[in-house]
Amino acid sequence: MSGPKLQATDLTFGYDPARPVVQDVSLHVDASEVVFLLGHNGSGKTSLLACLSGVQRANAGSITIDGRDAYAMTPTERAQRIGLIPQLHVAVFGYDVLDVVLMGRAPHLSTFSAPTREDRAIALESLDRVGLAGFHERRYTQLSGGERQLVMVARGLTQRCDVLLMDEPDAHLDPRNQLRVLEVVSDLAREHGLSFVVSSHAPNSALMFADRVLLLRHGRTLALGSVKDTLTETLLSEAYAMPTEVISKTVNGQRVPRAILPRRIDKVPDEIATLALDPDALEQPGSSLANLVHASRTRAQRTLVTGARGTGKSRWCERLVDQARRRGWRVAGVLSPPVMDGEHKVGIDLLDLTTGQRQRLADVRRDAGQGTTTERWRFEDATLSWGNEVLRRAQHAAPQLLVVDELGPLELQRDAGLLAGIAAIDALEQGLACVVVRPSLLDAALKRWPDAIVVDVEDR
Partner 1 sequence: MRGRLARRRLAGPLALSAAALALLVVLAAGIGSVPIGPGEVLAATGRGLETSLRGVLGLAPTVEEAGLDAGRRVADTIVWRIRLPRVALAALVGAALALAGAGFQGVFRNPLADPYLLGAASGAGFAASLVMVGGGTVALLGRFGVPLAAFVGATATVVVVVALARRGWTLPVVPLVLAGVVVGSCLTAGTSFVLLAAREQAAGILTWLLGSFAFASWERVGSVLPLLVVAGAGLLAAARALDVLQLGERAAAQLGVPVEALKLTVVAAGTLATAAAVSVAGVIGFVGLVVPHAVRLALGPDHRRLVPIAALWGAGFMVLADLVARTVIAPAELPVGVVTALVGAPFFLVLLRRGSPQ
Kindly determine how many residues on this chain lie close enough to bind partner 1 according to the rule CB under 8 A.
36
Q: Is 85 in the site for partner 1 (CB under 8 A)?
A: yes
Q: Which is nearer to partner 1, 45 or 78 (CB)?
A: 78
CA distance 423 to 396: 11
Q: Which of residues 265-284 bind partner 1 (CB under 8 A)?
A: none
Indicate which single residue of 42, 67, 75, 225 sits in contact with partner 1 (rule: CB under 8 A): 75
Q: State the nearest-atom distance from the C-beta of 162 to partner 1, in Å.
A: 15
Q: Is 89 in the site for partner 1 (CB under 8 A)?
A: yes
CA distance 173 to 179: 9
Whether 279 contacts 320, CB under 8 Å: yes
The closest alpha carbon to 281, from 272, 292, 271, belongs to 292
Q: State the nearest-atom distance from the C-beta of 253 to partner 1, in Å.
A: 46
Q: Is 83 in the site for partner 1 (CB under 8 A)?
A: yes
Q: Is 112 in the site for partner 1 (CB under 8 A)?
A: yes
Indicate which single residue of 1, 41, 72, 111 sits in contact with partner 1 (rule: CB under 8 A): 111
Cα distances from 372 to residues 77, 247, 368, 375, in angstroms, run 69, 40, 11, 10
Q: State the nearest-atom distance from the C-beta of 92 to partner 1, in Å.
A: 5
Q: Is 79 in the site for partner 1 (CB under 8 A)?
A: yes
Indicate which single residue of 45, 81, 129, 155 sits in contact with partner 1 (rule: CB under 8 A): 155
Q: State the nearest-atom distance from the C-beta of 108 to partner 1, in Å.
A: 9
Stretch that binds partner 1, among 6-14, 99-107, 168-176, 314-322 (CB under 8 A): 99-107
Q: State the nearest-atom distance from the C-beta of 111 to partner 1, in Å.
A: 6
Q: Is 103 in the site for partner 1 (CB under 8 A)?
A: yes
Q: Is 99 in the site for partner 1 (CB under 8 A)?
A: yes
Stretch that binds partner 1, among 27-35, 77-85, 172-180, 326-334 (CB under 8 A): 77-85
String marking each residue 279-318 x if it binds partner 1 according to CB under 8 A: ----------------------------------------
Please enumerate in sequence order all residues whose Cβ is within 8 A of that of 435, keeping only pairs 6 or more positions apart, or say none. Answer: 302, 303, 304, 305, 404, 405, 406, 407, 421, 425, 445, 449, 452
Q: Is 106 in the site for partner 1 (CB under 8 A)?
A: yes
Indicate which single residue of 50, 207, 223, 350 sits in contact with partner 1 (rule: CB under 8 A): 50
Q: Which of residues 113-152 bind partner 1 (CB under 8 A)?
A: 114, 137, 139, 141
Positions touching partner 1 (CB under 8 A) are 50, 53-55, 74-76, 78-79, 82-86, 89, 91-96, 99-100, 103-104, 106-107, 109, 111-112, 114, 137, 139, 141, 155, 159
